[in-house]
């Protein structure tokens, strides 16, 4: 068993000092625990359940030069996430069991955190034929055509009905028509898809929302009682805007960074509860790809290693959100919406824990990046709350307490 000493934990929206005894599950939480145990002194760090990131791109199978299940889950462990949901824009696309099994086998072999892969909504994300939901529903929590979206609304409605039948979430990359990265492409799709979600009653989740009009449409649906409709935002849309791009490929993503007005609307939606979670949209690319000119390089930035410190520094440390809300948007709400295992810092729950250094600033460097990709707009930025220790099922899978990655 492991004894964690000098931990701060969240209790009733405040931090209190406790000691934590654990093996595969949390055995005891108390002011002081005596006994001869392996001891880890976290020196006043914030210990909390590992995060759930429902939107990551691990690129395997098919694009292993960008990322793999192994390197992606290592980045997750470093960043403080013990469960992730990899997106399906892969080769082969997981649109039937045969294709999905390729990814499942790699996850079983290489993943060091829990991975819950998405299936697709349409075959090959081509928007023409339905994926074989009947074959894959036992092995996925959700389906999505992330990266392109579904504009074939008749097909989408039919897949919504199947998703409802099998209790799956459909996650939307809202964009109409395909390739319209402008604000109107997002919120037009949002409005169309909300009407179908109301009609079918399926669990419908909007990924990486970024416009005031999108949030207003979702807010309106909530006021009408449609709690089956949820949405996430990404850290970069909360803290960056289009004026910061300056043709830097590390600031290019889809949806793009928006106007300052839309950034403020994104923050407002997080604060008023329209947004129930934050997800990284972790999207690694090769350095060769991201070294091209802005207009010819691919969309996507890293996110797993910086999401928690960005949210902690910009929102918790500044007093904009409390500790309970911090837990909800990173741990509890993603689990509730997607049906992931519950993680609480309570006796009897699984020992999936992280330790955040909330008292000391750290400047994120390219050299420390664990992901295969190095494409982050947060390189050189200084934040509080970087993760220093990750414990999964009672075993240490990431340890940087001594200042050296292990």
Kindly tell me the burial class for residue 345, based on how many C-beta atoms sit within 10 Å of its own C-beta (0-12, 13-18, 19 or more): buried
pLDDT digits (tens, 9 = 90+) for 8-61: 999 999 999 999 999 999 999 999 999 999 999 999 999 999 999 999 999 999
Helix, strand or coil, per DSSP, at residue 286 = coil
Nearest to 231 by CA among 250, 245, 217: 217
Residues facing residue 21 across a β-bridge: 3, 28
Task: Output DSSP code: residue 291.
Answer: T
Q: Which residue has the tokens 């914030």?
A: 46
Q: Is the pLDDT of residue 178 over 90?
A: no
Phi-psi region of 35 (alpha: psi -120 to 50; beta: other; left: phi over 0): left
* pLDDT the model gives residue 179: 84
pLDDT digits (tens, 9 = 90+) for 365-400: 999 999 999 999 999 999 999 999 999 999 999 999
Domains in the chain: boundaries: 2-48+346-399, 50-338
Distance CA 125, CA 131 (A): 9
Tell me the longest C-alpha to C-alpha distance in the chain: 63
Mean pLDDT of the region 127-133: 98
Q: Is the pLDDT of residue 405 over 70?
A: no
- Helix 183-200 to helix 153-165 angle (10° resolution) is 50
Q: Are strands 395-399 and 386-392 parallel, antiparallel or unpaired?
A: antiparallel
* pLDDT the model gives residue 403: 59
**What residue spans of 115-211 are helical by DSSP H?**
133-136, 153-165, 183-200
Q: Are 235 and 310 in contact (CB under 8 A)?
A: yes
Nearest to 153 by CA among 206, 119, 199, 96: 199
Which tokens hold the place of 212?
């005031």
Distance CA 236, CA 217 (A): 21
CATH topology agreement for domains 2-48+346-399 and 50-338: no
Per the document, the length of the chain is 406
Query: Is 281 an active-site residue?
Result: yes
Distance CA 275, CA 219 (A): 9
Q: Which residues have a Cβ under 8 Å from the Cβ of 373 and sit 6 or more positions away? A: 66, 67, 283, 284, 285, 286, 287, 290, 302
Q: Which CATH superfamily is domain 2-48+346-399 in?
A: Urease, subunit C, domain 1 (2.30.40.10)
Concatenating the DSSP letter of every residue in 17-47 gives EEEEEESSBEEEEES---SS-EEEE-TT-EE
Mean pLDDT of the chain: 97
The band of 158, judged by pLDDT with boundaries at 50, 70 and 90, is very high
Distance CA 247, CA 95 (A): 36
pLDDT digits (tens, 9 = 90+) for 192-240: 999 999 999 999 999 999 999 999 999 999 999 999 999 999 999 999 9
Q: Which residues have a Cβ under 8 Å from the Cβ of 35 and sit 6 or more positions away? A: 3, 21
Of 53, 95, 146, 281, which residue is the catalytic one?
Answer: 281
Does domain 50-338 correspond to CATH entry 3.20.20.140? yes
pTM exceeds cut of 0.85: yes
Concatenating the DSSP letter of every residue in 65-79 gives TT--HHHHHHHHHHH
pLDDT digits (tens, 9 = 90+) for 81-101: 999 999 999 999 999 999 999
């Amino acid at each position: 068993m492991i004894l964690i000493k000098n931990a701060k934990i969240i209790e009733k929206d405040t931090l209190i000092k406790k000691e934590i005894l654990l093996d595969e599950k949390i055995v005891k939480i108390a002011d002081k625990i005596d006994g001869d145990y392996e001891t880890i002194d976290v020196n006043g760090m914030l210990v909390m359940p590992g995060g759930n990131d429902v939107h990551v791109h691990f690129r395997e199978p098919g694009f292993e030069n960008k990322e793999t299940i192994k390197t992606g889950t290592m980045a997750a462990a470093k960043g403080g996430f013990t469960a992730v949901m990899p997106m399906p824009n892969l080769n082969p696309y997981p649109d039937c069991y045969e294709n999905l099994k390729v990814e499942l086998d790699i996850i079983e072999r290489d993943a060091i955190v829990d991975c819950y892969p998405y299936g697709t909504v349409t075959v090959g994300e081509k928007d023409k034929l339905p994926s074989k939901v009947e074959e894959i529903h036992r092995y996925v929590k959700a389906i999505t055509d992330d990266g392109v979206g579904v504009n074939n609304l008749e097909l989408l409605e039919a897949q919504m009905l199947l998703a409802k039948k099998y209790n799956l979430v459909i996650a939307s990359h809202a964009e109409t028509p395909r390739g319209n990265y402008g604000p109107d492409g997002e919120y037009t799709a949002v409005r169309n898809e909300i009407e179908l979600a109301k009609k079918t009653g399926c669990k419908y989740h909007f990924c990486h929302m970024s416009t005031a009009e999108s949030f207003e449409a979702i807010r309106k649906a909530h006021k009408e009682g449609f709690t089956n409709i949820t949405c996430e935002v990404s850290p970069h849309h909360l803290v960056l805007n289009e004026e910061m791009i300056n043709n830097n490929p590390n600031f290019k993503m889809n949806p793009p960074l928006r106007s300052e007005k839309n950034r403020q609307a994104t923050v407002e939606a997080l604060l008023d509860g329209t947004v129930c979670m934050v997800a990284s949209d972790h999207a690694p690319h090769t350095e060769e790809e991201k070294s091209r000119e802005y207009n010819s390089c691919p969309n996507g930035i890293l996110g797993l290693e910086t999401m928690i410190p960005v949210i902690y520094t910009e929102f918790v440390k500044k007093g904009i959100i409390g500790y309970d809300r911090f837990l909800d948007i990173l741990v509890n709400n993603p689990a509730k919406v997607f049906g992931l295992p519950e993680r609480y810092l309570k006796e009897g729950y699984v020992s999936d824990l992280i330790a955040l250094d909330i008292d000391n600033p750290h400047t994120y460097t390219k050299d420390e990046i664990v992901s295969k990709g190095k494409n982050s707009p947060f390189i050189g930025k200084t934040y509080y709350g970087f993760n220093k220790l990750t414990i999964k099922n009672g075993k240490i899978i990431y340890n940087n307490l001594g200042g050296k990655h292990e």
